[in-house]
Amino acid sequence: MAVRSTFQFPWPFFGIAFGWTWAFWVPVALSENGVISIPDGVAWLLSDGKPAAWGPLVAAVSNALAKGGICDLLGSMTRMKFALRWYLAALLLIPAIVGGAQMIAQISGEEVPMAEALLAPATIPIAFVWIFFLGGPLQEEAGWRGTATLSLQSQFGALGASLVTGLFWGVWHLPLFFMPRPEIYYNQPVWGLIGSTMLLSVLLTWVYNNTGRSLFAAMLMHTSWNWSNFIFTALQTDTGGAAFFALLAGVVMIIVVHFGPRDLTQNPVSGRSN
């Protein structure tokens, strides 16, 4: 007799994450495009007031409470004991990719605007802390890596789970493309962001799996991604954007070949640090 698979696609998680976030962002997008009218103060609260960004964490906590796994989720978010090499990977790999893309743009002769952060260097470490807590990582990683990817890995493997999660992660941002935003990601074609989130998702899963499924490690790497675009302006140039995508894809391919697509780790994934 065939054994029935117990795998269930995490639709409830995605439903809550998208439902919570889009309940704030979609009205603003509709207002910005003249479909409905809402006061400016309300629009600020719905978009820049930040409640929307907490959707993935709200969904992750809801999922954990429903399954009795809240202690595991909180433990993963505070798991800081893992090898130094993974701290270095989480903190330095993505800045190196973005910085390399900017160097390529500069060598090619394209004019690269100076980052405002370089005019006030004291803001650079402060920005890292702010981004970690309020700029995406804390609000999102418990959901994307700690719930979606964790659930999908048993069926699709680490690589497949990363790409599926990355696709949803990118689409989750869709309403932001229909409202004025200062971030460079939302002033480029949407496929660029979705392609980037799919590739970045592989790197985040790689760090997550190799640190005993530490969401803290994933949050550090997510922070390094947003922080990189605070201190580098590579994505504001055509050459830099293309170089970033090529370098990111190349690094992902090397990692997948070296570590293997099933777990993205040379050791079986467990609750312990490698």
Domain tally, the chain = 1
Q: pLDDT by residue (tens digit) across 102-138?
A: 999 999 999 999 888 888 899 999 999 999 999 999 9
Q: What is the pLDDT of residues 151-191, one digit of tens each?
A: 999 999 999 999 999 999 999 999 999 988 877 778 888 99
Q: Please state, in angstroms and rounded to a whole number, the distance separating the CA atoms of residues 191 and 121.
A: 32
In a domain, 269, yes or no: no
Half-sphere exposure of 59 (CA within 13 A, CB side): 28
In a domain, 110, yes or no: yes
Whole-prediction pTM = 0.93
**In this structure, are residues 180 and 31 in contact, taking their beta carbons and an 8 Å threshold?**
no
Both tokens of 256, joined, read 């997948």
Residue 17, in any domain of the structure? yes
Residue 52 CA to residue 269 CA, distance in Å, equals 32
Q: How far from each other are the two terminal CA atoms of the chain, in whole angstroms?
A: 38
Indicate the DSSP class of residue 148: I
In a domain, 268, yes or no: no
Residue 4 to residues 10, 131, 148, 157, Cα–Cα distance (Å): 18, 43, 21, 19
- Domain contains 3: no
The range of the structural domain enclosing residue 160 comes to 11-259
